[in-house]
Amino acid sequence: MYIYAFLPNPTRLLALPLGISGSLQIIAVKDLAALVELDLDVLALQDSDERLMQAILAHDRVTRAVFQQTTLLPPQVWYEFCLPTGIARAFRNSSSRVCGKAREASRQSRVSVKADCSALS
């Protein structure tokens, strides 16, 4: 299982895009949720540079699409849990801290940056 981001437990249905290799799910515990891809084998992504680059681009696409709908907090590192119960355990240990950061982030202004990379090619 791979975690893309943490978010406040959604109060409305989010339109979730496809993930790196499959569908996404929201796993929620109280006020905190995680955007996850359950069946993603992170180690298999490292088999080739091309596959890893595609995964990085897909990760970015997913987080951009969901961030347009709700506040997201990226994990400090790429998380992979074997079972959803691992997320629940992690949430119990840090729920108030992460929820506080989510509330703080939602009050911050959002900035969109667009880059024209055509001059680089």
CA distance 82 to 46: 18
**Mean pLDDT for the stretch of residues 85-103:** 63
CA distance 56 to 44: 13
CA distance 97 to 86: 18
**Mean pLDDT for the stretch of residues 90-113:** 59
Residue that wins the pLDDT comparison between 101 and 18: 18
Type of residue numbered 17 = P
CB 63 within 8 A of CB 74: yes
The predicted pLDDT at position 44 comes to 87
**Mean pLDDT for the stretch of residues 13-41:** 92
pLDDT reading at 63 higher than 70: yes
CB 71 within 8 A of CB 8: yes
User: For 25, how many CA atoms within 13 A lie in the half-sphere containing its CB?
Assistant: 10
Residue that wins the pLDDT comparison between 90 and 57: 57
Q: How confident is the model at residue 67 (pLDDT cuts 50, 70, 90)?
A: very high
Strand 32-37 and strand 25-29: the pairing is antiparallel
CB 39 within 8 A of CB 23: no
**Mean pLDDT for the stretch of residues 69-96:** 66
